[in-house]
Every structure is written in C-alpha cells, then in structure tokens.
Amino acid sequence: MSTKSLIQSGIILIIMLILFSIYIFFFLNKEQEIISDSKTITDADNKIMELKYNAIDEEGNNYVIQSKSGKVSEKDKNILILREVTGVIKIKDTDEIIILSDIAEYNKITLDTHFYHNVKLTYEGHSINSDSLFMNYIDKNINIENNIIYKGYNNKLLADMVEIDLVSKFSKIYMLDKQNKVKVELKQNGSN
C-alpha cells in the first residue's frame, strides 16, 4: 500500500469516528431526554383542565361538550374520561338540549358520549334525571336508563328506559320488565 492510500484511509477513518461521536453525543442523548419527558407527562395522570369540544355536521347540527377536567382513557386514546360535564346539542331548527352529569366518556372520533352519575337532560320545559345516558351523535339518538324520573308540564313519569330520536323528537318510554308498568303522576292546576 502506498503512503497516499494509507493517509486517505486514515482521514476517512477519522471522519467516520468524528461523525459517529457526534451521532452518539447529540442524537442518542436527545432521544433519552424525550423519553424521560414523556414519562413526566404520563406520571402527571394525563389530566386536562377546562376542556371544550365543538362539532358541527353538514346539516348545521351543533354539539358542544365541556368539562372541568378530564383525562385520556388508558384503554383507548380516542376516549376521554370527563368530570363535571355539560353537553349542549342543537339540532337544526329546534331548541337546545342540555345534558349535565358528574362523569362522561367522550369518543373524539365518533362524538358518541356516555354520561353517567347524576345525569340530567333538559329540553323545552322537560327534564329527565337518570343514572346513565348514551348519545349516538351520528344516528342522532339518545338512550337513557336506570332510575329515570321524567318531569314535564303537568306530569311525572318513572321508567326504566327512554329512547329519543333527536331529529323527529319521537320518544319511547318503557319498562324493561314487561310485567311492570311506567308510573305516571298527573298534576292538575299545580296539585294532584
């Protein structure tokens, strides 16, 4: 081997060592810092404060959901577990439907929302209290269940299930056990 080839090989080897050292010093240390930062975020319990989502579909229907706090579900990153929740549904050419609950699971992709614990739905002089309410936003329907108390105008109903079509406003109120009947209290002039 000639001296010239030996010098060229040495220079190439030194350049490769310098590049390898730079890669290890700058890039590998950066990757380790990023990993430790993400652990800090995870350790903070993924808590989100004062959350608000607003969705408007092609027909002009609007759905706003907001909460005091929330976090990303450990089972599915598209599900948010929300606390102290308010949902407002505005179907085109109708009044607002307001839903309140202590907790809700909100799907960021489908907008489906499961409200539970102290659920209250209000709409045009009607109110429904229950333990659980599931809203399918794409199909525009709501299913309410468990310990339902419906109050509207001059009546009060106790039932197991209420199904509401948000577009037609058609409601179906029934008991799960066919042997039981929906309990109805009618008030006349403010008294029974």
Write the pLDDT tens digit of every residue in 95-131. 899 999 999 999 988 889 999 999 999 988 889 999 9
CA dist., res. 150 & res. 148, Å (int): 6
169 pLDDT band (50/70/90 cuts)? confident
**Residue 149 is encoded by which pair of tokens?**
């108390």
Residue ranges in the chain assigned as alpha helix (H): 3-22, 29-43
The answer to whether the beta carbons of residues 80 and 65 sit under 8 Å apart is no
Task: Locate 164 and state its tokens.
Answer: 């509401």
Phi, psi at residue 96, to the nearest 5°?
-70, 145
User: What is the pLDDT at residue 24?
Assistant: 62
Is 76:93 a contact under the CB 8 Å cutoff? no
Which tens digits make up the pLDDT trace of 54-109? 888 888 888 889 999 888 888 998 899 999 999 999 988 788 999 999 999 999 88
Q: Is the pLDDT of residue 178 over 60?
A: yes
